Structure 1
Amino acid sequence: MLIGEVAQRSGVSARMLRHYDSLGLVRPTGRTGAGYREYSSEDIRRIFHIESLRSLGLSLRDVKRALDDPGFAPSELVDDLIRQTRERIAGETELLTRLRRIDAAEPASWEDVLQVVALLQALGSKSAGKRQSAAMSSVEEVPVPVEALVEAVLNETDPNVAGALRWALAQSGDDGLALLAEGLGSPVAEVRKRAVQSIAEIPNGEVTALLLDALANPDVVVRRYAALALGARGVADAVPTLIDMVVEGANDVDAADALSALASRPALADQIATGLIDRLTHGTAESSARRRLTQALADIPGATTSRALADLSHDEDPGVALTAVYILGIRDAR
């Protein structure tokens, strides 16, 4: 079979067949009387073998070794091809993500494209200062796609940069909420924490529903941040978790402040006082926890609190009794 017919049947161009010949990959078995290359059925079979191995990503040099060296083991080469392919896919995926983010910024000119690219690169910089500057610029100069901001804030370890990124996200409205909600289910504890912190700073009504869901999150840190944010929003559902925080000594001052703010609503004051008193009476015997609960009663108005403090002023724990006496003195002086 002549080279033209082989090219037609195999799909390999005549030029490539000549290249294979020059490399010694597949040499035609014979020649016609006029000197043209003539391929046998065995030659054609080898061509198909070459194309099959090339489809796996093998170089022509490796293809030749695979076909001609009986001792050439495929396992090591295949493992290397798997590694190379994964790296290539990762690189292509990263490029696709970058292109999508540039497209989402809706650039009007190539100057806009270059600015977005520069900001995206700055967000991934090793310099905390550059990352922070990029976060600020994403609001003040060139808008960066919210997806990039969410990814950056969920992975940010520097507290100052994280604060700037949360601020930038808050300025973008609720576009990032769905992505941040996914962050609450991350297997990485720090990512879950950053997600709930970011959600808490977005001034949007839909945030409340997300934070209420977060109160039932298996991660206690997520529950605590959600409770503090809900308390600041005046949501009564946060009360039990806030009281738990006082008992456990976890951000207990912030939790007590949130309870105090909630107690400014008369309908909630007695509920909060009753919850604190119940934990004092039945919930814990630990002295430090009882003192924290007593201190938390200080800014809870109402007769229920006053009666409880009067009882606590005679508590068998001197620390609790002295704290109650001190608080009563302040309340009487008001």
Structure 2
Amino acid sequence: MSGPNSSYDPVEVTPLRADQVEEMREQAFAAIAAAGDLAELKQVRLDHAGDRSPLALANREIGALPPQARKEAGQRVGQARGAVQQAIAARQAELEVQAEERMLVDETVDVTLPTSRRPAGSRHPLTTLAEDIADVFVALGWEVAEGPVVEAEWLNFDALNLGPDHPARTMQDTIWAEPAENHVVLRTHTSPVQARTMLTRTPPIHVVCPGRVYRTDPYDATHSPMFHQVEGLVVDEGITMAHLKGTLDHFAAAMFGDGITTRFRPSYFPFTEPSAEVDLICWICRGVNSEDCRTCRGEGWVEWGGCGVVNPRVLTACGVDTDRYTGFAFGMGIDRTLMMRYAVSDLRDLFEGDVRFSSAFGTEL
């Protein structure tokens, strides 16, 4: 068996000769020095340091050399490539400084000059919608009632027939203020405003109560620990579910257009009896072509809120004579109503504070 030919004198591949590698490096240096801006330098990087550059192609030829010649050729090409990369980095730093200096000169603004353009402001759509809702009921002869967001436990729960063991009173649903023995919560609905109204006024009562409420919900596209509700309360003689249905049909038409009606589905709420979920007929397809409708997803109806006849226990707790008076109440999410009206897909857009979102709604007087 013959051994390796250690006396073999390799013939170097042409692109790997010292003079050829030096020429490639000098060409790269010249191109780098000639680059006048970052865009030109980017092209130089591709031409002289990219995968198809002369030095990169020469580096691929090293594998074709015999073992004795690879080390020297590899060092030669590697040093040249490293020098080119360093030159590019140095030139990029210089050009970035020059670009920043030009930008400071070209984009200089004299802030002492009077502005010639004042962008129009806008109101937050939640504020506007809450006022629009209030106007609907003021036009019916109702009044707007308000109350504190930091509320007594009794008004938030007990007065509304939510007993001590009701799951809504747990820390998983309600934000409690410390210390716990003070029995104070961030209100979970605007119903305490209704209780305060009944405690301080004599029927007949017709009030609408918009405001912020708080629950321990996650913060995502459809939930928020802080959101807005509007609730309505009527207490008078002879009030029935028929009055409630007519009121909500009028409210729905004011929010979503003429011809929009509601339907009731039996439900349960501690503060009303009987209780119902309120659905709106789809304002896009009107329930006619519901199979292809993306708004109602083929149902023909869209859930809106809850309602019912005020539970006699609530009236009694608030000092109202149940033998003489009855009433109805309802509650809807203002945020949900806004999202439904304007096809807002992410609830977080309402609270992120991006002026671009609010500016799309403009200013309504």
Q: Sort the TM-score into its range (normalised by shorter chain).
A: under 0.3
Q: Which has the higher helix share?
A: 1
Based on CA coordinates, which of the two structures has the bigger radius of gyration? 2
Query: Which has the higher relative contact order, 1 or 2, with Cα contacts under 8 A spaced 6 or more apart?
Result: 2
Q: Where is the strand percentage greater, Structure 1 or Structure 2?
A: 2
TM-score normalized with structure 2 length: 0.17
